[in-house]
Amino acid sequence: HEKNWAPILGTSSWLYSCHEESRVVTASRQGDRWVLTPRGPSPAVARGFRGGTQLVPCDGGWLACVHEVADEDGRRTYEHRWVWFDADLAIVGWSSPFVFRSRRQIEFAAGLAWYGDRLVCTFGVRDEQAWLSILNYQQLVRGRVSA
């Protein structure tokens, strides 16, 4: 019932869930059906992670930007996190929650690509604006929490 599938760049698999029964789960098409495959372990913090960008190769594993639903005075808002996966798709690190533009609104990260040693992340705001952000990867790594 997960609706936020995220493609895994260069593969035929999709990230289905960051935390299902304490595991990362991928989906892949086999014939006319989709098959769910439990992958690496997932920490409890990942319970609220929802898809966002595709997973891109990073440091021998994968990197993605996900979102979490937050409640700001009864209003639904989104916050993001960077999530690092190892080669077997176990979650090995994550960032603190953040927003791209401003708090108390819906933002949704949609695309992620390398641009040299930087990352370009596209995102929408309130389903009415499109933005892109160019990020210094080394700054992201310094803020990483390891599993």
pLDDT tens profile 74-92: 888 889 999 999 999 999 9
Average pLDDT score over residue span 4-32: 93
Pairwise CA distance, residues 79 & 100, whole Å: 9
CA–CA gap between residue 45 and residue 101 (Å, rounded): 24
- The secondary structure element, H or E, covering residue 140 is helix 137-142
The arithmetic mean of pLDDT across residues 19-46, rounded, is 94
Q: Is the pLDDT of residue 110 over 60?
A: yes
Whole-number pLDDT of residue 1? 55
Separation between Cα atoms, residue 109 and residue 123, nearest integer Å: 4
pLDDT of 38 > 90? The answer is yes
Residue 2 confidence (pLDDT) above 70: no
pLDDT of res. 75: 82
Residue 146: Cβ within 10 Å count: 7
d(CA 104, CA 62): 29
Burial of 73 (0-12, 13-18, 19+ CB in 10 A): exposed
* 47: three-class secondary structure by DSSP: helix
Residue with the two structure tokens 């695309």: 111
Please report which confidence band the pLDDT of residue 3 belongs to, taking 50, 70 and 90 as the band edges: confident
Q: H or E segment at 75? A: strand 75-85
Q: Residues 124, 98, 88, 51: is their CA dihedral positive or negative? A: negative
Q: Which residue has the higher pLDDT, 127 or 122?
A: 122
pLDDT at 111 over 70: yes
Q: Tell me what the mean pLDDT of segment 127-144 comes to.
A: 92
Please give the mean pLDDT across all residues of the chain: 92
Q: Is the pLDDT of residue 142 over 60?
A: yes
Q: Residue 102: its pLDDT value, please?
A: 80
Task: Indicate the pTM of the whole model.
Answer: 0.91
